[in-house]
Structure 1
Amino acid sequence: MHQGFAIMHNWDDFRYFLAVANCGSFSMAAKALGVNHSTVSRRIQVLEERHGVRLLDRTPTGYQMTEAGASIYDIVQTIQDNELKASRVLLGQDSRLEGNIKLTMPHDLFESCLAAPVKQFCHQHPAIELSLLVSHGLKNLANREADIAVRLTPNPPDYLVGTCITQMQHGIYAHTSQSHLKTTPIIVWGQEPELPEWALTHFHKPFIALRVDDLASMHRAVQAGFGVARMPCFFPDAVQAADVKRLPIELPRSDWGVWLLSHADLRNTARIQRCRQFLTTALTDLIPTFEGKHSRY
């Protein structure tokens, strides 16, 4: 009995080791685990002292595993993967319409299109507690960082099950005061190294005026008069800003789809099923918006 308790206790410390090994720093590991920096440091110290070995070395680029740490990494990762799988299997058999659901989606999609439907779901199911995750970066559904995801993607991961609601339409948007200029200022995504093809094809002497890393910021930049931008129609057409117009330039339909996804192990969880059904209806109602049918030219 005492030995079993010690093993359980040890595993919790190993979890801290795994987080630091994966994140490369105590601060990032603390953020991932939802604890403070000193807790991570203390738990790693306890683990190393208990076993009489050093598992992590501090380097100029972050913490790196020692030989001892590397020797147990795969074992600890497998234990965590199995623990998460066991949790998903049990959750997959939960027939109650109560409990927590972690729902993730891009913040611009929530703000422009889904805030009201999500509020309606919460009103209809007060026993279901919704945790909404809209920060930058994709949540890992395998690690239970989220239970349901609305993703804008061309290809979701194979381990997820779900539905492509529709393919997105993009449009080219400008401020209503935009007129024919000797040169055309273009707003592009931060990762685009040079002018995109649409700018070279449709505009006279285009040049990059601004780079952004966020759809809401791109729309706001157009509204502020920075220049012309290519955006998925759902955001500007849902916001309906009076000073932003879609230009009469037809673009081919995007290969990016609007996907509603969850982990395969959770397909029979009652509250997950109910939430997926609700979101499927809400997203289906928004298909004309995703397809650019409400644009103001």
Structure 2
Amino acid sequence: MQHMLNWNDLKYLLATVQAGSYNRAAEELGVNRTTIARRIAALEQQLDAPLLESGNGGYRLTEEGRLALDSARRFEQEAHQLESRLTRGGGELRGSLRVAAPLGLGPEFMAELAAFGNAYPAVRVELINTQDPVSSLNQRQADVGIAVTHDLPDYLSGRRVAVLQRAVYASERYLADHPATLPLGEHRWIGWGREMAHTEVARWMQHHLPAQTAVGLRVNSWHALREAVRQGLGVSHLWCFLAGDIGDLRAITPVTRALDIGLWLCHHGEVRNNRRVSAFVDTLAPLLQRRAGDSD
């Protein structure tokens, strides 16, 4: 038994290859880089073969590493297929369900999560707030995801339940001193911090606002952005389905169509028959559709 492969070590190899580096794999798995390196070294010692070798910009698989990776993928797929077969039967739904939701937006869906919890009280839901729910699914940190993205990668299945829209909002307090009719470049803006510079909204600001536009504050979360706009610190793009319910906020532009993006319920294809996953998608899809005011 001591010579049997350790699935957990194979999982670390799989995560490293999918993420592209030890550091990114450690981020995705919620461990430190040393743990990743140690577990892969243990696997190499057990197999008596090198699995990764240094290359330009990171690591690449050896021939033995490719064989080990194929085994890791088969183990992973078989484990999920087994769970799907075991959960197809009747009876009350039980067990755990890990749900990945976008960082900052996850708490906004608490009413829909509560509706699922009330319908299936024996299912233990773990909400994982993450920068990228798709990546969390890829790393098998979650069973199902609520993702904001244009399209899903080929390895995921899912349902686009709505198209989320954004417009530029301001508070009544701000508008008392800054007329809504001002050109956008003459407003004071709330922008995104450096780590969010890759987002579509940050790029929109960079490309559509004059270089001299005043940016009085930069934030890195949806809640901070919304609160800054509410407090009158400036204007910014907000999600229409959320900002529209806040009485002291007003849209000062039409919807910015270039920033439309899909709201998805997604999961790996091999777990589509998992009754917990199916029940979650079937429960939340109409609720999120109604919440976003979209029949897509």
Which amino acid is 1:188 matched to? G
| Alpha-carbon distance in 1 for matches of 2:42, 2:206 | 53
Asked if 1:7 corresponds to 2:4, the answer is yes
Q: For 1:42 and 1:257, how far apart are their aligned partners in 2? A: 39
1:247-266 matches, within 5 Å, as: 247=252, 249-253=253-257, 254-266=259-271
1:276 aligns with one of 265, 281, 288: 281
Q: Which whole-Å CA distance do the structure 2 matches of 1:111 and 1:43 have between them?
A: 34
Closer, same or farther: CA 185–33 of 1 in aligned 2, 3 Å: closer
Structure 2 match to 1:294: none
Q: Which residue of 1 aligns with 2:74?
A: 82
Percent identity of paired positions between Structure 1 and Structure 2: 24
1:78 deviation in Å? 1.6
The number of residues matched between the two structures is: 272
CA distance in 1, matches of 2:158, 2:204: 35
SS in 2 for 1:231: strand
Range with greater deviation from structure 2 (124-133 or 217-226): 217-226
Partner of 2:65: 73
Alpha-carbon distance in 2 for matches of 1:49, 1:186 = 55
Q: Is it true that 1:95 corresponds to 2:88 in the alignment? A: yes
Alignment partner of 1:158 is 2:154: yes
Where does residue 188 of structure 1 map in the other structure? Answer: 191
TM-superposed deviation, 1:194: 7.5
Q: Secondary structure at the match of 1:7?
A: coil
Q: In the TM superposition, what is the alpha-carbon distance from 1:222 to its structure 2 partner?
A: 1.5
Q: Is the 8 A contact 2:144 2:267 kept in 1?
A: yes
Say which is worse superposed, 46-55 or 99-108, in terms of deviation.
Answer: 46-55
Query: Given the superposition, is the C-alpha separation of residues 37 and 269 from structure 1 closer, same or farther in structure 2, using an over 3 Å criterion?
Result: same
What does residue range 187-206 of structure 1 map to in structure 2 within 5 Å? 187-189=190-192, 190-191=197-198, 192=202, 195-196=205-206, 199=209, 206=213
Q: Distance in 2 between matches of 1:39 and 1:109?
A: 30
**TM-score of the two chains, using structure 2 as the length reference:** 0.74
Higher alpha-carbon deviation: 36-45 or 139-148: 36-45
CA-based RMSD of the aligned residues comes to 3.5
Cα pair distance change 1:214/1:34, threshold 3 Å: closer
Partner of residue 121 from structure 2, selected from 119, 126, 130: 126
For residue 72 of structure 2, give the secondary structure of its aligned residue in structure 1. helix
Displacement, 1:193?
Answer: 5.6
Q: Give the Cα–Cα distance (whole angstroms) in 1 for the partners of residues 162 and 213 of structure 2.
A: 32
CA distance in 1, matches of 2:161, 2:9: 42
Distance between the aligned counterparts of 1:284 and 1:18, measured in 2? 35
TM-score by length of structure 1 reads 0.74
The CA distance in 2 between the partners of 1:91 and 1:13, in whole Å, is: 21
Cα separation, 2, equivalents of 1:31 and 1:252: 33
The corresponding residue for 1:216 is 223
Q: Which residue of 1 aligns with 2:239?
A: 232
1:172 aligns with 2:168: yes
- Structure 1: unaligned runs, 5 residues or longer: 292-297
| Distance in 1 separating the partners of 2:277 and 2:204 | 43
Once residues 117 and 285 of structure 1 are traced to their aligned partners in structure 2, the CA distance between those partners, rounded to angstroms, is 11
Please tell me the residue identity of whatever aligns with 2:233.
F
Any idea what SS the aligned residue of 2:168 has?
Answer: strand
Q: Distance in 2 between matches of 1:228 and 1:75?
A: 54
Cα separation, 2, equivalents of 1:129 and 1:81: 27
* Structure 2 Cα separation of the partners of residues 17 and 235 of structure 1: 40
DSSP 3-state at the match of 1:8: coil
Kindly tell me: are residues 143 and 20 of structure 1, through their superposed partners in 2, closer, same or farther at Cα, counting changes over 3 Å? closer
Aligned residues of 2:50 and 2:62 also touching (Cα < 8 A): no
